[in-house]
Amino acid sequence: MSGDLLQYIRTGVPLNLKQQLRLTIQLSTPAIMAQLSSIVMQYIDASMVGSLGADASASIGLVSTSTWLFWGIGSAAATGFSVQVAHSIGAGDNKRARNILRQALTSILLLSLTLLVIGCSISHSLPMWLGGTPSITKDATSYFLIFSLSIPFFLLNYLGGSMLRCSGNMHIPSILNVLMCVLDVILNLFLIFPSRELSILGWNIIFPGAGLGVIGAALGTALAELVIAIAMIGFLCFRSPVMKLTLEQGSFLPEKRCIRNALHISLPMGGEHIVLCAAQIMTTVIVAPLGTLSIAANSFAITAESLCYMPGYGIADAATTLVGQSIGAKRTDLARRFARITVLMGMAIMTFMAVVMYVAAPLMMVIMTPNVEVQALGVMALRTEAFAEPMFAAAIVAYGVFVGAGDTLIPSGMNLFSIWAVRLTLAAWLAPTMGLQGVWIAMCIELCFRGSIFLIRLRWGKWIKTL
């Protein structure tokens, strides 16, 4: 069991290579499944919305980078607390871990309400700021408004899952995320499409529907997030063997030490998310003049590509837990070994996924949209990006390693330099002559560069700090 092997880390029991590999696989597998399930949900969402036409798809694609910005700020804040939990559990101080949880709940709730107010206030103007055409701005505004109202659900869900993973429980977050996908699909069927007659085994059945289109897609996702956030936080606070809150003394008011440590981890990550998402928004601005078809194809290709790289994020979650608890237990040599194992595993899996994506690109795009022109552009983007996936894996998992070590400032700066100096510069140069293909070539080159510099830092950089 992964819990037994994690206990070896905390108690100083030596782990041989076989045990290290087994523990890495045990923690990575449910995290990968959770990530893949979320991508399946995005695929289904995209295909459902795609059946409504290119304008509907483009309206969501237009504001997608802005939703990532808000989500990224909140997730960075949550990570600042969950990494402290991993360190505390690694050091055998479960009481402190629970105190951090109390303060995290208050802090994340206050932050999410702040983001909600900001998002709602800019929702009307945002699509126009991003260069959207009149045919898509109304739906884009509605989609972003509903997303903004649901930010507390998203962030509490993320906080709960992150805390459970850092405590070593990968299975509950994975199971709940799969359930969220199923719930999202069911809600979308009722909310996106109008009532219609279906023929099943010779019987004609009226299937009810609200016919809300893009608004229905946003509502379905928000409601699914709400249900799972309640379940995730409920399990974390009342059922988790390590993290459940008891009547022991502890305050929900944030303390100076906890907030200072959280800011040390979160501020570089939050600043990175802001600047990276600003760069992604700039990419949207670069793509927007290419037309509605390019906007839709770019959005679909980003969603489709995530099937390839989400396993890397699952392994990165495991790396954060393994490295964080190893450092909390003051076992730096073990932390370095887990870093190498997880990065190599991530690169191997994403290389395989890249081959699958290259071969299956036409099928993936057919599933997502019936528009032949959008399909062709999407296939081009996916096959261009496939060559970057191994090095993208190196960057993703190495970043998870650094987060587990509490080292976020320099890696965040590396991400920022890579995307702004390499990707955007090349995209702005290539897009006017090569169209959407130039944007994705720029992305491919940048991801290869980013993976290289992360491997260099992992090998020779001073990313382990003594607590």
Instruction: Give dist(CA 161, CA 173) in Å, integer.
Output: 5
Give the residue among 58, 64, 212 at the shortest CA–CA distance from 132: 58
Tell me, what's the pLDDT at 286? 87
Instruction: Give dist(CA 224, CA 217) in Å, integer.
Output: 11
Tell me, what's the pLDDT at 426? 93
Instruction: Give dist(CA 86, CA 107) in Å, integer.
Output: 18
Instruction: Give dist(CA 92, CA 80) in Å, integer.
Output: 19
Whether 132 is covered by a domain: the verdict is: yes
Contact between 357 and 308 under an 8 Å Cβ cutoff? The reply is: yes
Tell me, what's the pLDDT at 4? 65
Whether 467 is covered by a domain: the verdict is: no
Query: Alpha-carbon dihedral of residues 373, 379, 384, 386, nearest 10 degrees?
Result: 160
Instruction: Give dist(CA 396, CA 401) in Å, integer.
Output: 9
| Cβ-proximal residues to 313 (8 Å cutoff; 6+ apart), any chain | 31, 35, 396, 400
Q: Residue 333: how many CB atoms within 10 A of its CB?
A: 9
Region 60-64: what's the mean pLDDT?
Answer: 80
Tell me, what's the pLDDT at 178? 84
What 3-state class would DSSP assign to 42? helix
Instruction: Give dist(CA 287, CA 435) in Å, integer.
Output: 8
Instruction: Give dist(CA 226, CA 241) in Å, integer.
Output: 24
467 pLDDT tier (thresholds 50, 70, 90): very low
Tell me, what's the pLDDT at 46? 65
Asked if the model's pLDDT at residue 397 lies above 90, the reply is yes
Tell me, what's the pLDDT at 407? 87
Between 118 and 73, residue with greater pLDDT: 118
Residue type, 19: Q
Whether 465 is covered by a domain: the verdict is: no
Tell me, what's the pLDDT at 377? 92
Region 17-29: what's the mean pLDDT?
Answer: 84
Asked if the model's pLDDT at residue 82 lies above 60, the reply is yes
Q: Residue 192: how many CB atoms within 10 A of its CB?
A: 25
Whether 103 is covered by a domain: the verdict is: yes
Asked if the model's pLDDT at residue 466 lies above 70, the reply is no
Whether 218 is covered by a domain: the verdict is: yes
Region 142-151: what's the mean pLDDT?
Answer: 94
Tell me, what's the pLDDT at 112? 95
Q: Which of 111-120, 316-325, 401-410 has the highest mean pLDDT?
A: 111-120
What 3-state class would DSSP assign to 247? coil
Structure token pair of residue 318: 């495991």
Report pLDDT digits (tens) over 375-389.
999 999 999 999 999
Query: How many Å separate Cα 256 from the centre of its chain?
Result: 29
Region 45-57: what's the mean pLDDT?
Answer: 74
Whether 448 is covered by a domain: the verdict is: yes
Whether 155 is covered by a domain: the verdict is: yes
Structure token pair of residue 10: 């905390």
Asked if the model's pLDDT at residue 348 lies above 90, the reply is yes
Question: Full-prediction pTM beyond 0.95?
Answer: no
% of the chain with per-residue pLDDT over 70: 94
Asked if the model's pLDDT at residue 70 lies above 80, the reply is yes
User: Any idea which of 226-235, 247-256, 374-383 has the lowest mean pLDDT?
Assistant: 247-256
Region 396-405: what's the mean pLDDT?
Answer: 92
Contact between 70 and 288 under an 8 Å Cβ cutoff? The reply is: no
Tell me, what's the pLDDT at 176? 92
Between 364 and 272, residue with greater pLDDT: 364
Report pLDDT digits (tens) over 359-378.
999 998 888 778 888 899 99
Q: Residue 183: how many CB atoms within 10 A of its CB?
A: 19
Query: Alpha-carbon dihedral of residues 62, 67, 73, 76, nearest 10 degrees?
Result: -110
- DSSP H helices in 167-255: 171-191, 214-238
Region 123-144: what's the mean pLDDT?
Answer: 88
Instruction: Give dist(CA 63, CA 86) in Å, integer.
Output: 34
Contact between 392 and 451 under an 8 Å Cβ cutoff? The reply is: yes
User: Any idea which of 202-206, 236-240, 382-386, 392-396 has the lowest mean pLDDT?
Assistant: 202-206
Asked if the model's pLDDT at residue 2 lies above 60, the reply is no
297 pLDDT tier (thresholds 50, 70, 90): confident
Contact between 2 and 321 under an 8 Å Cβ cutoff? The reply is: no
Whether 466 is covered by a domain: the verdict is: no
Report pLDDT digits (tens) over 160-215.
998 998 888 888 988 898 898 889 888 988 998 888 776 666 777 787 888 898 89
Asked if the model's pLDDT at residue 293 lies above 90, the reply is no
The domain containing residue 261 runs over which residues?
Answer: 2-460
Region 420-433: what's the mean pLDDT?
Answer: 91
- In terms of residues, how long is the chain? 467
If one counts the domains in the chain, the total is: 1
Mean pLDDT of the chain: 87
